[in-house]
């Protein structure tokens, strides 16, 4: 695949991508307009002429994401869209939901380069199973990128400082076309010596900073290590409930979605729903993020250099089965409890069939990160398949 150029260039650092990207077809899309802050409608606006969230013929924009009208409830989740140039290019390539990479209340550095490697699970279909022995024994990772694509995600959730990302997020919001929505993502930052109450307050502060940009909705990331190696905030539903209460006090009626990792226990997943949606603090869940795995090279050695990087989140084709499972289980809990919340399906969407599989599993919206990185035409292909 050496002749293909993903819009995030995995051969360069995060910092270089932030300053110079996006690349490939996304870069060409940006050349179509004079400014990323112009607010011009997407040149692909209306290519999905009539489509509702249930697949029924309707007027453009008749589908919705957390109350906002969209042409098609499909887009790119938190991760590869680093700033307003990336999100604007995504809009122009027909992705109607563009998630601004997760921001923090303070500047936060990126893990050392490289951050992305191709990942090759042993299974015939290239999938990884949560809880399997392979995740701890080692999964081959190298620079042989091939379809269907799976990659490592070892960034450490970097963030610019608010004085940089706030004005840039305003520009990103303004660049959305008709039937398109900028989706800000954020998380709290646990630093040494911080108490639990201070950790909760940091989430609320970051949400307030996003609100100041004019955002119409937001997603809170609970699915990356926040409290120590391989410990995820979403594995503590009661704490997530406390945090979302503090966040809602800051953002009021602005819809809040929570990003989840894979949660194996139905009881824990139901407790998450009861602790958040059940208290009126959360309006949706996005799932899944990545699956943590030990990554090794062909000789069995640590694939990503540096202390504490023996494991990495894996995303792309390898995690589609786990993502579909989480969506179906959330949908079942939604029906069981009679609660109203949206489900955003994420993980391994590399084709129109994958989009439809997530919708059939119960997802109200769908997003693709790795698949979109390697196929800038993915949104247009999905729209064409629905017509």
pLDDT one-digit tens code per residue, 16-65: 999 999 999 999 999 975 443 333 444 434 443 333 333 333 345 569 99
Please answer whether residues 330 and 362 qualify as being in contact, where contact means their C-beta atoms are separated by less than 8 angstroms: yes
How far, in Å, CA of 307 to CA of 300, rounded? 16
Indicate the CATH number for domain 64-385.
Answer: 3.20.20.70
How many residues can be counted in the chain?
387
pTM: 0.92
Phi first, then psi, for residue 346 (nearest 5°) are -135, 140
Query: Furthest-apart CA pair in the chain: how many Å?
Result: 56
126-152 average pLDDT score? 96
Pairing of strands 365-367, 342-346: parallel
How far, in Å, CA of 303 to CA of 45, rounded? 42
Query: If you write DSSP's letter for every residue of 163-194 in order, what string do you get?
Result: HHHHHHHHHHHHT--TT-EEEEEE-----TT-
pLDDT one-digit tens code per residue, 197-212: 999 999 999 999 999 9
- Is 224 assigned a catalytic role? yes
* Helix (DSSP H) and strand (DSSP E) numbers for the chain: 12, 15
Active-site hit among 110, 224, 234, 315: 224
Q: Which structure tokens are listed for 365?
A: 């919206």
The percent of residues in the chain predicted with pLDDT above 90, rounded, is 86
- Domain borders along the chain are 64-385
How far, in Å, CA of 103 to CA of 221, rounded? 10
Pairing of strands 74-76, 97-103: parallel
Nearest to 75 by CA among 61, 54, 96: 96
111-124 average pLDDT score? 96
Backbone Cα Rg of the chain: 19
Q: Note the pLDDT of residue 54.
A: 38
Q: Which structure tokens are listed for 225?
A: 């290590």
């Amino acid at each position: 695949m050496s002749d293909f150029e993903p819009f995030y260039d995995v051969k360069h650092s995060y910092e270089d991508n932030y300053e110079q990207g996006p690349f490939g077809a996304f870069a060409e899309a940006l050349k179509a307009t004079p400014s990323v802050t112009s607010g011009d409608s997407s040149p692909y606006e209306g290519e999905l002429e009539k489509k509702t969230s249930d697949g029924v013929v309707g007027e453009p924009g008749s589908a919705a994401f957390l109350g906002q009208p969209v042409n098609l409830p499909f887009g790119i989740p938190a991760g590869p869209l680093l700033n307003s140039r990336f999100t604007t290019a995504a809009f122009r390539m027909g992705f109607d939901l563009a998630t601004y990479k997760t921001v923090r209340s303070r500047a936060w550095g990126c893990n050392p380069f490289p951050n992305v490697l191709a990942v090759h699970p042993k299974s015939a279909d290239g999938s990884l199973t949560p809880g399997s022995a392979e995740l701890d024994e080692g999964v081959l990772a190298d620079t042989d990128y091939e379809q269907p694509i799976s990659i490592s995600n070892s960034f450490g959730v970097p963030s610019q400082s608010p004085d940089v990302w706030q004005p840039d997020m305003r520009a990103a919001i303004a660049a959305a076309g008709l039937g398109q929505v900028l989706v800000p993502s954020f998380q709290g930052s646990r630093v040494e010596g911080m108490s639990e109450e201070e950790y909760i307050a940091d989430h609320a502060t970051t949400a307030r900073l996003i609100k100041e940009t004019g955002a119409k909705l937001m997603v809170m990331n609970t699915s990356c290590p926040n409290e120590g190696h391989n410990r995820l905030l979403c594995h503590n539903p009661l704490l997530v409930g406390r945090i979302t209460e503090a966040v809602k006090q800051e953002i009021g009626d602005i819809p809040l979605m929570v990003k989840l990792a894979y949660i194996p226990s139905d009881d824990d997943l139901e407790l998450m729903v009861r602790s958040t949606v059940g208290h009126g603090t959360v309006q949706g869940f996005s799932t899944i993020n990545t699956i943590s795995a030990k990554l090794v090279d062909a000789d069995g050695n640590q694939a990503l250099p540096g202390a504490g990087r023996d494991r990495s989140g894996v995303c792309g084709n390898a995690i589609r089965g786990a993502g579909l499972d989480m969506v179906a289980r959330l949908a079942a809990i939604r029906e069981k409890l009679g609660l109203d919340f949206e489900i955003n399906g994420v993980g391994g969407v590399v084709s129109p069939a994958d989009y439809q599989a997530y919708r059939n599993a119960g997802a109200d919206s769908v997003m693709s990160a790795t698949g979109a990185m390697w196929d800038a035409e993915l949104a247009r292909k999905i729209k064409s398949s629905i017509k």
